[in-house]
Amino acid sequence: MSSDDTSDAVFKALAAPVRRKMLDALKDSPLTTGDLCARFPALDRCTVMQHLRVLEKAELVIAQRKGRERWNHLNPLPIKQIHERWIGSYAARAVDMLDRLKTDLEG
């Protein structure tokens, strides 16, 4: 998968609010699929699994089987790569512009 394809998959995965909430739920520790289903009672198990597949395709979630349980682990690296590629450089330029504006206004 090329880096553009990877970025597209990450942006697609992050586009849905429920998937962002799932990632938030996995932020502190891995959860079983059953745990995620319990945290999202408005969704049936099949829907939770569909969302998890999208997150796995984007490599945002890594699933690990332990016996009958499926543990879902957050993989923050794709988000870090998106930040470095898309957010970091734009944020740095914005801060530089604000600094120049402040200097101009004070000068």
Give pLDDT, residue 80.
92
pTM of the model: 0.80
Locate 89 and state its tokens. 């450089």
CATH 3.40.50.970 is held by the domain 3-75: no
> Could you tell me the CA-to-CA distances from 105 to 45, 97, 98, 100, 101 in Å, in that order?
57, 12, 10, 9, 6
Rounded to whole angstroms, the Cα distance separating 81 from 61 reads 15
Give pLDDT, residue 3.
66
**In order along the chain (107 residues), what is the average pLDDT of each group of 10 residues?**
79 97 97 98 98 98 97 96 83 82 88
Proportion of the chain in helix, strand, coil states, percent, rounded to 5? 70, 15, 20
